[in-house]
Structure 1
Amino acid sequence: MAIPFTEYPLRPASYAATLGRTVIVVPHPDDEALGCGGLLALLRQAGLPVAAALVSDGTMSHPHSQDFPAPARRELRYAELRHALAVLGVDENREVLYLGLPDSQVPSQGPAFEAAADRLAAFLADKQADTVLVPWRRDPHPDHRATAALVAAALARLPQPPRRLEYMVWAWERAAPADLPQPGEGTGFRLDVAAVLPQKQRAIAAHRSQLAPGTIADDPSGFLLSAHMLSHFAQPFEVYIE
């Protein structure tokens, strides 16, 4: 039986300093702040380099908007990501790779997948990553699962792949029992992020288009993060699987 996340052992904030140069791989803009905002802030406080790779173009949060057609939605989401990274202390101008894969249709195989894996492997090598942060392999969103597969393919291309830590986003809300980490399937832990929780909350707030009332007003079917979903990320810890 899977152990509840809240029962994972708690590691101190100082653990972040052991991770070295870190790259976070993000399915959509906002996943970096939700899943790892505290860790990213702690890494930067420790003076460690942090870079980000954004997998999807983020355009499907409000697919029916006429005020913000797809190119405008993409640029809005990219700008929100840069803002969130800046809040967390990451140099958002130099340290972001945009893979530009289609939101809600990130491939898990095929030519586009292989080309993205090549680009990501080169990025990890260029950044001399010691650690890569990636969504939990069975996080319920299909783009998150495809992102985990993409990272696995990129790591397989490297002669000395970095350490891999998997973070939770939708597993808090939507995971079926079989989706959750099973006994013996890696080491689960909570990281104490209480000292940087206000910074993490500001980074989440940078994604204004995803938070009520939102900034895209002409698509009532568009996505907004619920208050209940956000409550998981207001806790003074983050959950990781190694």
Structure 2
Amino acid sequence: MTIDWQRERLLILAPHPDDETLGCGGLMAKAKEAGAEVYVQFMTVGDTADNSARGISTAQERYSEIKQVADFFEWDGWEIAFPGDEYHLKLDRIPRFELANTIEQHSPLSIATLRPTVVITPHWTSYNQDHQVTAEAAHTALRPSNNSLRHHPRVVLAYEEAADQWRYDAVPSPNLLVELTEEHLSAKVKAMGLYCTQAHQHPHTRSETTLRSLAALRGMQTGVALAEGYHTLRLLT
């Protein structure tokens, strides 16, 4: 089957700035090229200890990077649900009820408000606790119900990141592969470069070589040059 991305409104859930690009950068480029609407709900951002010369990336720097990436991809909107050091890398301290309600109803980019046709979440087997709780909260927010009472996106996917494979209970290969052109992949790589506090040289899970290698592997698995992999949670055709 194929998805006519021109007709879709995508909501991508990103625990932190750069997760949406690592997981969905090629698809975002492909969807926007086709005429889709793309929105990104970031869950949190704050000062981040890292391996840079200063040993920290500030929230202000990361806000600046978001704006550059948003302009580059021409997102239709983005929002941060829980900004600040109180929440960054600590989303597992927030009650699941609050996280799920934020995604379902309370955010300006909530499912109830935005009524997306496609929702894409991080994968629940990530080693990162913020990814895990975001995925689980989204799973609750997207629970089955009567479509006349609650909005049901037709397509619900989980994106992958190379680092997810570290989990001992990581799931098998993705079961939905989205073909990319070299232009789509190059856009993903360029956008990741705009997250300059987060990009790294190879060998690293966020390096250009890793992004290109994973796209080549997923493409090979479906007989094309390049692809991004997703796990299907709901697909109504």
Q: Which residue of 1 aligns with 2:97?
A: 114
Consecutive aligned runs of 4 or more in structure 1 exceeding 6 Å deviation: 63-68
Hey, what's the Cα distance between the residues in 2 that align with 1:226 and 1:153?
A: 37
Hey, what's the Cα distance between the residues in 1 that align with 2:55 and 2:167?
A: 34
How does 1:3-82 map onto structure 2 within 5 Å? 15=3, 17=5, 20-62=8-50, 73-82=58-67
Hey, what's the Cα distance between the residues in 2 that align with 1:107 and 1:58?
A: 15
Aligned equivalent of 1:180, options 168, 171, 187 = 171
How does 1:52-201 map onto structure 2 within 5 Å? 52-62=40-50, 73-91=58-76, 95-100=77-82, 102-107=87-92, 110=95, 113-122=96-105, 123-156=110-143, 159-162=150-153, 163-176=155-168, 178-181=169-172, 188-194=175-181, 195-201=183-189
Matched residue SS, 1:211? coil
Hey, what's the Cα distance between the residues in 1 that align with 2:196 and 2:150?
A: 40
Check conservation: 2:112, 2:151, Cα contact below 8 A.
Answer: no
Check conservation: 2:11, 2:40, Cα contact below 8 A.
Answer: yes
Deviations 1:9-44 (A, max 9, x none): xx8xx6361771110000111111111001011111
Check conservation: 2:112, 2:150, Cα contact below 8 A.
Answer: no
Alpha carbon RMSD of aligned pairs, Å? 2.9
Check conservation: 2:125, 2:164, Cα contact below 8 A.
Answer: no
Offset of residue 204 of structure 1: 0.5
TM normalised by structure 2 equals: 0.75
Q: Which residue of 1 aligns with 2:211?
A: 233
Hey, what's the Cα distance between the residues in 1 that align with 2:61 and 2:21?
A: 16
Sequence identity, in percent?
A: 22
* Unaligned segments of structure 1, at least 5 residues: 1-10, 213-224
Q: 1:58 to 1:41 in 2, by over 3 A?
A: farther
Offset of residue 228 of structure 1: 3.8
Hey, what's the Cα distance between the residues in 2 that align with 1:116 and 1:172?
A: 22
Check conservation: 2:99, 2:134, Cα contact below 8 A.
Answer: no
Hey, what's the Cα distance between the residues in 1 that align with 2:103 and 2:122?
A: 15
Check conservation: 1:84, 1:202, Cα contact below 8 A.
Answer: no
Q: 1:106 to 1:16 in 2, by over 3 A?
A: farther
Q: 1:170 to 1:67 in 2, by over 3 A?
A: closer
Deviations 1:53-97 (A, max 9, x none): 0012143344999896xxx81122122122123212213xxx112
Q: 1:171 to 1:67 in 2, by over 3 A?
A: closer
Q: Which residue of 1 aligns with 2:235?
A: none
TM normalised by structure 1 equals: 0.73
Q: 1:172 to 1:109 in 2, by over 3 A?
A: closer
Greater length-normalized contact order (CA 8 Å, ≥ 6 residues apart): 1
* Unaligned segments of structure 2, at least 5 residues: 216-225, 233-237
Tell me the amino acid that sits aligned with residue 81 of structure 2. L
Check conservation: 2:45, 2:59, Cα contact below 8 A.
Answer: yes
